[in-house]
């Protein structure tokens, strides 16, 4: 598995940092509970979604006595080797527990099982792991229903007729695959809609997504595609850039998963028609909170649904919607 020298340096520094903050001489928490050191490992660290997860984890850290978190993730969302190395490093450093958003529902099974064997429990957030016995709890959006929600709305604004495109993410990401499956299941219920492309993958960055989107727009010229669905933030931003460059933004009905500043501006301008929005702050918060509860002997639900909503120009100013699309990141 590829591991760069820069990645090795980073992991070496992480080892020293973790080792330095796992001292047995730390004072007890204010309520007398044993201090806990938790690793929180996202799929990546760049996008607004992961910054919101971080904000939620920090909120839990501030509220829970004696808890401190160590936040570290791959730079981009396709470096499985780096994420596996992070799990292994935190296990070797003997953290008390791990909150993990697995990049791959199968590749991360062995590291999580190894953590459990070492007495270090894991809570999975955002994206499923294929072995439910390996983890304590799964804290995430119902991504299948989110995909259904996106498909239903796209069908509605197309008046149940037309040709649509699905831009997929990458193989192995359970959360995105469930969104794709939910969308396609809903499309199958609308006989007047034809999915003309469902096998194009946009990859982990805005740049790779833009290239994939440009290829789709070249294949399906003006009048040959009526709607598009992108399953996450970088895909949606890449598709939006391609649509603007091609002069077709606003001409094709556009529904996407997740949000960001550029996507919200595009929603206001009519270049995007709807965003399926999660609650990543709650996801990060509940991931840490449920792990702490488990470590302190409390019962934890195996599945915690953190919710999903459809955001349109009409409801954008609603109070709860505003909180979700403008998350406090500090």
Q: Do domains 5-140+279-305 and 143-278 have the same CATH topology?
A: yes
Q: Looking at the domain covering 143-278, what would its CATH class be?
A: alpha beta
Residue 48 has a pLDDT of 87
First to last CA, the chain: 35
Distance in angstroms (rounded) separating the CA atoms of residues 252 and 246: 11
Residue 136 has a pLDDT of 98
Average pLDDT, the chain: 91
Residue 46 has a pLDDT of 85
Residue 7 has a pLDDT of 45
Is residue 76 pLDDT above 90, yes or no? no
CATH number of the domain located at residue range(s) 5-140+279-305 in this protein? 3.40.50.2300
Kindly compute the dihedral angle of the four CA atoms of residues 74, 75, 78, 80, in this order, to the nearest 10 degrees. Answer: -20
Q: pLDDT for 139-161, tens place per residue?
A: 999 999 999 999 999 999 999 99
Q: Band the pLDDT of 328: cuts 50, 70, 90.
A: confident
Strands 137-140 and 97-100: unpaired
Mean pLDDT value of segment 90-106: 97
Percent of the chain residues past pLDDT 70, beyond the cut? 90
Q: Band the pLDDT of 32: cuts 50, 70, 90.
A: low
Distance in angstroms (rounded) separating the CA atoms of residues 93 and 15: 7
| 182, containing H or E segment | helix 174-187
Q: Band the pLDDT of 330: cuts 50, 70, 90.
A: low
Percent helix / strand / coil, the chain, rounded to 5: 45, 20, 40
Q: pLDDT for 186-237, tens place per residue?
A: 999 999 999 999 999 999 999 999 999 999 999 999 999 999 999 999 999 9
Residue 283 has a pLDDT of 98
Is residue 270 pLDDT above 70, yes or no? yes
Query: What is the model's pTM?
Result: 0.87
* Other C-beta atoms lying within 10 Å of the C-beta of residue 163: 17
Nearest Cα to Cα of residue 14 among 40, 49, 43: 40
Nearest Cα to Cα of residue 58 among 70, 76, 74, 43: 70
Radius of gyration of the chain (CA): 21
Nearest Cα to Cα of residue 99 among 65, 72, 117: 72
Question: Is residue 81 within 8 Å of residue 2, measured between CB atoms?
Answer: yes
**Residue 7, helix vs strand vs coil:** helix
Residue 15 has a pLDDT of 47
Q: Hunting for tokens 């609603």 — which residue is that?
A: 318
Domain ranges of the chain: 5-140+279-305, 143-278
Is residue 25 pLDDT above 80, yes or no? no
Mean pLDDT value of segment 296-309: 97
Nearest Cα to Cα of residue 212 among 234, 187, 184, 189: 234
Mean pLDDT value of segment 24-40: 68
Is residue 5 pLDDT above 50, yes or no? no
């Amino acid at each position: 598995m590829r591991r760069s020298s820069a990645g090795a340096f980073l992991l070496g520094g992480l080892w020293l940092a973790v080792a330095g903050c796992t001292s047995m001489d730390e004072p007890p928490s204010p309520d007398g509970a044993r201090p806990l050191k938790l690793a929180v490992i996202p799929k990546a660290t760049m996008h607004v979604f992961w910054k919101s997860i971080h904000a939620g984890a920090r909120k839990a850290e501030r509220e829970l006595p004696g808890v401190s978190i160590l936040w570290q993730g791959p730079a981009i969302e396709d470096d499985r080797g780096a994420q596996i190395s992070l799990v292994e490093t935190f296990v070797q450093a003997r953290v008390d527990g791990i909150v993990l958003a697995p990049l791959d529902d199968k590749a991360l099974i062995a590291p999580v099982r190894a953590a459990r064997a070492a007495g270090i429990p894991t809570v999975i957030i955002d994206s499923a792991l294929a072995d439910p016995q390996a983890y304590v709890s799964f804290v995430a959006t119902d991504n299948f229903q989110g995909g259904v929600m996106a498909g239903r709305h796209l069908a509605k604004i197309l008046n149940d007729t037309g040709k649509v495109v699905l831009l997929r993410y990458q193989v192995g990401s359970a959360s995105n695959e469930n969104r794709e499956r939910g969308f396609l299941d809903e499309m199958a219920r609308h006989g007047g809609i034809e999915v003309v492309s469902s096998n194009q993958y946009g990859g982990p960055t805005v740049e790779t997504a833009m290239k994939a989107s440009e290829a789709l727009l070249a294949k399906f010229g003006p009048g040959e595609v009526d709607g598009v669905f992108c399953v996450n933030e970088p895909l949606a931003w890449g598709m939006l850039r391609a649509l603007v460059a091609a002069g077709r933004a606003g001409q094709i009905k556009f529904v996407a998963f997740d949000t960001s500043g550029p996507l919200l501006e595009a929603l206001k301008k009519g270049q995007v028609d709807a965003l399926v929005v999660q609650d990543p702050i709650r996801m990060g918060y509940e991931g840490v909170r449920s792990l702490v509860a488990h470590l302190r002997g409390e019962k934890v639900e195996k599945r915690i649904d953190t919710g999903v909503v459809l955001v349109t120009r009409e409801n954008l100013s609603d109070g709860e919607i505003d909180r979700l699309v403008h998350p406090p990141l500090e």
